[in-house]
A and B are shown apart, each in its own frame.
Chain A
Amino acid sequence: MRDTTTTLLHDWHAAGLVSADQVDAIERFERGRTGGPAPRRTVVAEAIGYVGAALALGAIALLVGEFWSQFTDLARLVLVLVLTLALFASGTALRRATRPPLQRLASVLYAGTVAGVAWATGIVVGDMVGRRDVEVGITIGVASTAAALPIYLVHRRALSQLVLLVAVLGTALATLSLPDQPPDTVWYSLTAAAIGAAWFLLGTGGWLSPRRVAETAGAVLAVLACQVTGGDDWALLLLGAAVAVALVLLAIRSDALHLLAVGAVGLFLVVPRLVFAWFGDAIGAPATMLVIGLLLVLLAVGLGRARREIGDDPATSPPPPPSASTGEVAR
Chain B
Amino acid sequence: MFYREAGDFKTSYVQDAQTFPIAFDRWRYYFVLAVAFLVIPFVINDYWANAVLLPFLIYAIAAIGLNILTGYCGQVSLGTGGFMAVGAYACYKLMTGFDIYLMGADGEWVRYALPPINIFFSVILAGLVTAFVGVLFGLPSLRIKGFYLAVATLAAQFFLVWLFNKWAWSYNYSASGQINAPTRSMFGIEVTGPTTEPWAAYMFCLVFVVALAWLARNLTRGSVGRRWMAIRDMDIAAEIIGVNPLTAKLSAFAVSSFFVGVAGALFFAVYLGAVEVGEAFGIQKSFLVLFMIIIGGLGSIFGSFAGAAFMVLMPVLLKNVLVGTLGWPTDLAAHIEFIIVGALIVVFLIAEPHGLAQLWRLAKEKLRLWPFPY
Instruction: Judge: A and B partners, yes or no.
Output: no
